[in-house]
A and B are shown apart, each in its own frame.
Chain A
C-alpha cells in the first residue's frame, strides 16, 4: 500500500530558529513529490521535486529529494511567526495513464515570537 510519512508530527520553535521537516515515502510509480503549506484554509503550493539531489529554493525555504532513500526534507531558516502552519508532503503516483496524490498527515509548526 502506498504511504507517505511525515515527521515530526508537530514542532514548536522560536523566531529565528532553523527547522527541518521530513517526508519519507513508499509509493509505486513515483512521479513527483510536492510540499504544501496549510494555514487554516486551502493548502498552498511550495515546491515540486522530481529529480534527486536538486535543491529547490524560495527565500528562506528550501527542499531536496533523495529518490534512492525515498525521502525529502523541507528546511526553513530564520523562522518567523508567519511560518506557523501545517506543512503537507504529497507524492504523485501514476498508473496506466491515471495518477493520484498520496498525502502525509502533515507537520504542525508553531513559531513563537
Chain B
C-alpha cells in the first residue's frame, strides 16, 4: 500500500531530551516536507526537501533539523525540545511535476514537559 509512515505516533518527553521523528514513504516521491499543526494556526511548514541531499527551511524551522540521505526517509530531529514544540506533526510527500498532490502521514503527537 502506498503510504507515508511516521513514528512514533505519540510521544511524551521532557525538555532538552533529544528526539527524532521518523518519516518514510514507499512511493518514490522526490518531495518531502514536515508540518506542525497548532490550534488556530493551521498547518505550518517546518522544513522541506526537493530531493536527496536537498533540504530547505520552511516558515517555522527554529529548533528543528532534518536530513535527506535517502529518497524514502526524511527524519525530523529536535535536538533540545522545549514545551513550545508541543504540537501535532505531519510528514508529507509528493511526486515531482504534473498534477500531483501532497500525501500525508498519520501524524505524530508530541508533548514536551
Binding site for B on A (CB under 8 A): 32, 34, 41-45, 48, 50, 88, 90, 97-106
Contact = CB atoms under 8 A, between A and B. Distances in A.
B99 A42 contact: no
B58 interface: yes
Contacts of A102: 45
Given A34-B101, A34-B102, A99-B31, 11 more contacts: A41-B106, A42-B107, A43-B104, A45-B103, A48-B101, A90-B43, A97-B50, A103-B43, A104-B42, A105-B40, A105-B41
Size category of the B interface is 20 to 34
Contacts of B74: none
B105 interface: yes
B104 A100 contact: no
Interface string B83-113: 0000000100000000101111111000000
A48 B99 contact: yes
Interface string B31-50: 10101000011111100101
Contacts of A103: 35, 42-44
Contacts, number: 47
B56 interface: yes
A45 B101 CA distance: 8
A104 B35 CA distance: 13
B42 A100 contact: no
Nearest to A9: B40
A101 B45 contact: yes
Contacts of A104: 42
A101 B50 contact: no
List of 4 A-B pairs having minimum Cβ-Cβ separation, nearest first: A105-B42, A103-B43, A42-B104, A103-B42
